[in-house]
Amino acid sequence: MKLYSRITGTGSYLPPRRLTNADLAAELAAKGVETSDEWIVERTGIRARHFAAPDVCSSDLGLEAARLALQAAGVQATDIDLIIVATSTPDMVFPSTACILQNKLGAHGGAAFDVQAVCSGFVYALSIADAMIKTGAATKALVIGAEVFSRILDFTDRTTCVLFGDGAGAVVLEASDTPGILASDLHADGKHAGILCVPGHVSGGQVLGDPLLKMDGQAVFKLAVGLLDTAARNTLAKAGKVAADVDWLVPHQANIRIMQSTARKLKLSMDKVIVTVDQHGNTSAASIPLALDTAVRAGRVKPGEMLLLEAVGGGFTWGALLLQL
Ligand code: UT7
C-alpha cells in the first residue's frame, strides 16, 4: 500500500456570464438596491463574478472542472474510484451531486458522496480523500468544489448579494510513494450556525423558512481572522513545518482584507498569496480549487512547492491543509 496521497492534476471552470461590479450595480439599481464598484472593491477586493445560466447546476460546472483535472493528471475517468463534491448548492435534495456528476463523467462504480461544510468544504473534502487513500479505501480520487451560489442570493440584500459567484474547481488525488498531503486541521462550532446560513428547508412539497443566504458579515469577519491563523499554525505544527516553509498560501477567496490579515499574522508577504477573489468573488467551496488551478495554469505554482490551504464557512466550520504539490 502506498503511504501518501498527492495531487496529480487540477482543473477549474467558470460559467461564461461575467458581471463586473458596475454590471451588477446597474442590475441592482433597477430593483432599487444601491451599491457601487467603489464600495465593493474597497470592502472586499471583488471586481467581478460569474453567474451560471438558470439551467446549469453545480454538477455541470464540476464536470467541466473534473474533465480538465483528469486531463492534466493523465488519468481516465474510468480509473477514478472516489468522487467527493464539496457543495452547499447541490443539484437536488438527493441523490448527491457527486453521484450525478459521476454518471455524467461515465466513472461508474466507485464511492461518491457530497461534503457539506460550506466555504470550508474543499479543505474538508481533500482531507477526507487523503485519509481514504492512506487507508487503502481509494487509490484515485476526484475532489471537487462546485457552487451555484447565485441561486441562494437575496438580490434585495446588498450586504450579501454583491459578494458571491458561481464556479467549480477540481483536483485528482492519487496514492503515491512520495508526499503529498502533509497535514490538516479541521474544526466546527455549531453555536455560530446563525451568523452564516440558508435557514429554509423542504417539507411536504414546499420550501419552509427562508431559502436565501443570511450573513452577519462583521461577526464572520471577526471569527475568521482569529480561527484561520490558529488552524494554519496547528497544521504547520502537525507537519513539523513553519510558516517560512510555505511557498504559497491558497486561501478561501472571501475578502482580500481577511487574506491580508492571515498573511500578516503568518509573516507571509502578499506576493506568496494566491488571490482570485477580484475576478471570481466568493465561490464558497469552489474558491480554493479555482484559485489553485488558476495559479497552476498561470505557471505561478509549480510541482514540488509547499502550499497552505485555509478556509472558514457556515457552520461555523474552519480548517487548513498543508501539501507539497
Ligand atoms: O465565505 C464565508 C465567509 N464570509 C466572509 O468571509 C465575509 C466576511 N465579512 C466581510 O467580508 C465583511 O464584513 C463585508 C464585506 C460583508 C462587509 O464589510 P464591512 O466593512 O464589515 O461593512 P459593514 O457591514 O460594516 O457595512 C458598512 C456600511 C453600512 O452602512 P452604514 O450602516 O455604515 O451606513 C452598510 O449598510 O456599508 C453599507 N453597505 C453597502 N454599501 C454599498 C453594506 N453593503 C453595501 C453594498 N454597497 N453592497
- Helix (H) or strand (E) segment spanning residue 260: helix 256-265
Q: Is residue 280 domain-shared with residue 212, that is, in the same domain?
A: yes
Report d(CA 129, CA 40) in Å as an integer.
36
User: CATH number of the domain that 71 lies in?
Assistant: 3.40.47.10
Q: Do both 235 and 297 map to the same domain?
A: yes
Per-residue model confidence as pLDDT tens digits over 152-211: 999 999 999 999 999 999 999 999 999 999 999 999 999 999 999 999 999 999 999 999
How many CB atoms are located within 10 Å of the residue 22 CB? Answer: 13
Rounded Cα distance, 127 and 131, in Å: 6
Q: Using the predicted structure, report yes or no on whether residue 1 has a pLDDT greater than 80.
A: no
155 in ligand 1 pocket by Cβ < 6 Å? Answer: no
> Does residue 131 sit in the same domain as residue 236?
no
Tell me phi and psi for residue 158, to 5 degrees.
Answer: -70, -20
CA 189 to chain centroid: 19
The reply to whether 147 and 9 lie within a common domain is yes
Ligand 1: nearest atom to the Cα of 159 = 44
- C-alpha cell belonging to residue 291: 484559485
Evaluate: CB of 46 within 6 angstroms of ligand 1: no
298: number of Cβ within 10 Å:
9
Pair (131, 216) in one structural domain: no
Enter the C-alpha cell of residue 260.
491580508
What is residue 2's predicted lDDT score, i.e. its pLDDT?
78
Q: Closest Cα to residue 281, out of 24, 9, 11, 10?
A: 24
Quote the ligand 1 centre to 64 CA distance (angstroms): 33
- Which residues are identified as catalytic? 119, 252, 282
From 179, 199, 228, give the residue that closes a domain. Answer: 179
Mean pLDDT of the chain: 97
DSSP-H helix ranges across 135-216? 158-161
pLDDT over threshold 90, residue 33: yes
CA distances from 127 to 34, 84, 119, 154, 186 (A): 41, 11, 14, 32, 8
Q: Whose CA is nearest to atom 39 of ligand 1?
A: 159
Which residue's CA is minimally distant from atom 5 of ligand 1? 254
The answer to whether residues 17 and 112 belong to one domain is: yes
* 118 and 34 within one domain: yes
Structural domain span for residue 252: 182-324
Global confidence as pTM: 0.97
- Based on the domain organization, do 206 and 100 belong to the same domain? no
Distance CA(89)–CA(268), nearest Å, equals 33
Q: What digits encode the pLDDT tens for the residues 85-140?
A: 999 999 999 999 999 999 999 999 999 999 999 999 999 999 999 999 999 999 99
Question: Do 133 and 209 fall into the same domain?
Answer: no
Domain-ending residue, one of 136, 162, 179: 179
Q: 136 with 226, same domain? A: no
Boundary (domain end) residue, out of 179, 195, 222: 179
Q: For 219-249, give the DSSP string.
A: HHHHHHHHHHHHHHHHHHHHTT--GGG-SEE
How many domains does the structure of the chain reveal?
Answer: 2
Q: Is 256 in the pocket of ligand 1 (CB under 6 A)?
A: no
Asked whether residue 119 falls in the same domain as residue 260, the answer is no
CA of 44 to the centre of ligand 1 (A): 8
| Judgement on whether residues 156 and 194 belong to the same structural domain of the protein | no
Distance 223 CA to ligand 1 centre (A): 15
